[in-house]
């Protein structure tokens, strides 16, 4: 999702609820944004960490398997080349078929745990990098995109997204 303005209000509301719930489980919007800022300024990319973790001021992000540089670079390329919430499953015979399939098999089963240092701030959350609909449809998980790739100005747009204006009965 690189163009937030093109999304309909229902999708914006869904993303806002999802990102707000994750932020609350880490201690709030500020702690969540600090995590994202620290990930963005870390070089090499945090996904390449040899100890399969990334520590930030208010917690830790952990996963079970080392992800090699070529896989991270392919993930970044997939993120940069997609136009919207499109299918990243390659068609058989395309140029990047084998490397993308290897990426999906390698990184797909990994579960990422995001936990705050202090349990009083929340319990954290877990996520997987891909949403698998069926054997031919795979999309990048929205929260995985937010955590590792999406520019901060778009994340802030999602946080400030449309307010649900459904009337409440009294």
Q: What DSSP state is assigned to residue 56?
A: E
The pLDDT tens digits for 64-117 are: 999 999 999 988 888 887 766 678 887 888 888 888 888 889 898 999 999 999
Is residue 165 assigned to a domain? no
**CA torsion through residues 36, 42, 45, 46, sign:** negative
13 occurs within a structural domain: yes
Is 170 inside any structural domain? no
Let me know if residue 167 belongs to a domain.
no
Could you report the per-residue pLDDT of 20-37, keeping only the tens digit for each? 999 999 999 999 999 999
Task: For residue 17, give its domain range.
Answer: 4-159
Backbone angles phi, psi at 49, to 5 degrees: -60, 130
User: Comparing C-alpha atoms, which of 31, 18, 39, 48 is closest to residue 120?
Assistant: 31
**Tally of structural domains, the chain:** 1
Residue 11, domain member (yes or no): yes
Is 64 within a domain? yes
pTM value?
0.86
In a domain, 166, yes or no: no
Is 21 inside any structural domain? yes
């Amino acid at each position: 999702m690189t163009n937030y303005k093109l999304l309909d209000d229902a999708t914006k509301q869904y993303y806002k609820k999802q990102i707000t719930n994750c932020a609350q489980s880490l201690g709030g919007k500020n702690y969540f944004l600090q995590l994202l800022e620290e990930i963005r300024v870390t070089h090499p990319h945090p996904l390449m960490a040899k100890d399969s973790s990334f520590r930030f001021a208010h917690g830790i992000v952990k996963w079970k398997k080392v992800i090699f540089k070529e896989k991270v670079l392919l993930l970044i390329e997939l993120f940069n080349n997609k136009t919207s919430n499109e299918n990243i499953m390659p068609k058989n015979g395309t140029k990047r078929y084998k490397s993308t399939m290897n990426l999906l098999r390698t990184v797909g089963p990994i579960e990422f745990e995001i936990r705050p240092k202090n349990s009083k701030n929340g319990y954290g959350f877990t996520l997987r990098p891909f949403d698998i609909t069926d054997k031919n449809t795979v999309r990048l998980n929205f929260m995985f995109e937010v955590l590792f790739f999406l520019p901060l100005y778009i994340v802030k747009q999602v946080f400030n997204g449309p307010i649900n204006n459904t009337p409440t009965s009294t």
